[in-house]
Amino acid sequence: MNRRSVLRPASTHAMSVRRPSRLLFVLATLCFMILFIRILPGQSVMNLTPSFARKQPIAFRPSSFDWSTVQEHFPVQPDSLTPLPTGHKKLPKVQHDFPSYEHDEHTEFRRSKVKDVFLKCWNSYKAQAWGKDELRPISGGGKDTFGGWAATIVDALDALYIMDLEDEFRHAAAAAVEIDFADTEDTAVNLFETTIRHLGGLLSAYDLSGEEALLRKAKELGEMLYHAFDTPNRMPGFWLDFEAAKSGTQLGGTRDPAAGPASLSMEFSRLSQLTGDPKYFDAVHRVKKFLQDTQESTSLPGMWPTHLDFQHMSASGSHGYSLGALSDSLYEYLIKTYLLLGGADDSWRQMYARAMEVVEKHLLFRPMTPRKDDVLFSGNTWVRVDEGGRVDLDAEVQHLGCFAGGMFLLGGRTMDVSRHLDIGVRLTWGCRWGYSVMPTGMMPEIFGLFACRGNEDLLDFCPWDNERWRAHTLAPTLEKGWRNAREPAYQLRPEAIESMFVLWRISGDESLRDAAWDMFESIMQATETDLGNAAIANVTVKRGQAEKLDSMESFWLGETLKYFYLIFSPPGLISLDEYVLNTEAHPFKIPR
């Protein structure tokens, strides 16, 4: 008798009677074994956590130097620390109500394509540049630009989590919590960049995952960065010089970029919220007080110039104003810190509202175009103090300033100001227009336009003046209305898609997703390499002819691709009513 005949049931009828009871017994046994293995002592079935958190906790490894052992030379006494504000308000609803949203196959296809690009870049980084700050997307290998502390790993942590890449997230998180912040060839660290990328990345990854090791590493880094405030007036410099911090010889800068020390409030406030230690919030609260005290004493009252004297706590020595480089996130953080603090400190909102009055009056402009495009941009303003305080607008636009559309939208919804919403829409579409009229489909880093003249209202159109354009353009081969493309590069920046994402989440306008897809395809066509994506030197050349640069900064993964992924994701993923994103696109949970 062969084995097969022995295993065959005696009859079909017999099998139909006996099989259910046997299966039930096997299933019951398996369920019992699984519960026995997975339920730890003192843990109930209802307490079993999602798969992201069920695995072995990630092990924290401290850096080789402990900054908490460094004695402060200009300490704040414990009874003088400013505590976190209490009494959170019921904040207005920011995000559009999506009652009938359906995530269709078309949108999922787009999202999966973005995820594929992310994974290609991430896998190349793992294979070619693991532990380095960024990948060289053309030549291969990596390079260090921010202390050699694996900026790409930390910047990409929350993106890995958001994209549901569990194994990759845990692998990256395990590496992030082992970073030795004492191991660097640099003698100083950029306080702003390290805060928004590394501290922000660690805090956000903790907010999303709950992995305690990430918070411990964030606190360790926060302790080091906190020593940048150990100066006679508690104003930090743009750089944290390690030896100067240890010897007590640090001073605030006399002409530092305003966005440096003034854009730390979200990360330090969140660190205080999560650890319960008020000293981090106290540090940035003092910078806010300096801004508050000087807001009306600048040469353009209501705004702060691009450079500030933190050492002497003066804002009167510089007279250039912008929402671009040097001061951009200062303004962004006013309204976002207000939200992060649950509306409990209204001074942040008041400072923002006052600043935007001046921005609207003196920095925003409608470009003169032959088609009367319904768009706005933010330029640069100079106050001629030696000429009676005349205020001159330079209609030069920076890609960095494209965040302003999202800022106005977020502020308009938070403060219920419909005009700010209108401005935010037009600013967002302005940057989209800047992409669409370039031969490569991408907007330059810096370019000049022609501002409409004599408009009584910023939102009014102006007639096309062909003679004015012909007489002053330096770029006659570009779209009519362009004055120049002074810096024609595209550096994989996220600001334009950031505002598109915010506008979609606030308005629910589905046409934004089609526009975003056009942007994504143009970027991919021009920047894709064998290893990932590269910045390009000139967006004004014909498609397919742009020279690629061997650079792929960490924000490509941490911001740009994350925003593209989110705009093609269901609106409940990182809801703007539950999270506020820092300037590096790291979402922080809004306390309720």
Residue ranges of the alpha helices (H) in 437-494? 466-472
| b/e per residue 263-292 (b: at least 16 CB within 10 A) | bbbbbbbbbbbbeebbbbbbbbbbbbebbe
The structure tokens 């359906």 sit at 102
| b/e per residue 83-106 (b: at least 16 CB within 10 A) | ebbeeeeeeeebbbeeeeeeeeee
Q: Is 445 a catalytic residue?
A: yes
Helix (H, G, I), strand (E, B) or coil at 275: helix
Residues 6+ apart with CB under 8 A from 365: 376, 377, 378, 379, 393, 395, 449, 451, 452, 458
Query: Of 435, 523, 518, which Cα lies nearest the Cα of 479?
Result: 435
Residues 6+ apart with CB under 8 A from 268: 195, 222, 226, 280, 281, 283, 284
Residues 6+ apart with CB under 8 A from 471: none
Query: Of 206, 216, 221, 113, which Cα lies nearest the Cα of 157?
Result: 206
Exposed / middle / buried, residue 61 (Cβ in 10 Å: 0-12, 13-18, 19+):
middle
Q: Which of 166, 193, 374, 394 is catalytic?
A: 193
Q: Is 193 a catalytic residue?
A: yes
How far apart (Å, rounded) are the C-alpha atoms in residues 589 and 203?
A: 10
Is 583 annotated as contributing to ligand binding? yes
Q: Which of 155, 220, 309, 328 is catalytic?
A: 328
Q: Is 166 a catalytic residue?
A: no
How far apart (Å, rounded) are the C-alpha atoms in residues 440 and 83?
A: 51
Q: Which of 134, 256, 495, 498 is catalytic?
A: 495
How far apart (Å, rounded) are the C-alpha atoms in residues 404 and 323?
A: 7
The single-letter DSSP state of residue 437 is T
CB-based contact 155:121 (threshold 8 Å)? no
Q: Is 183 a catalytic residue?
A: no
How far apart (Å, rounded) are the C-alpha atoms in residues 583 and 287?
A: 18
Would you list which residues are annotated within the binding site? 583
Tell me the binding residues for Ca(2+): 583
Which residues are identified as catalytic?
Answer: 193, 328, 445, 495
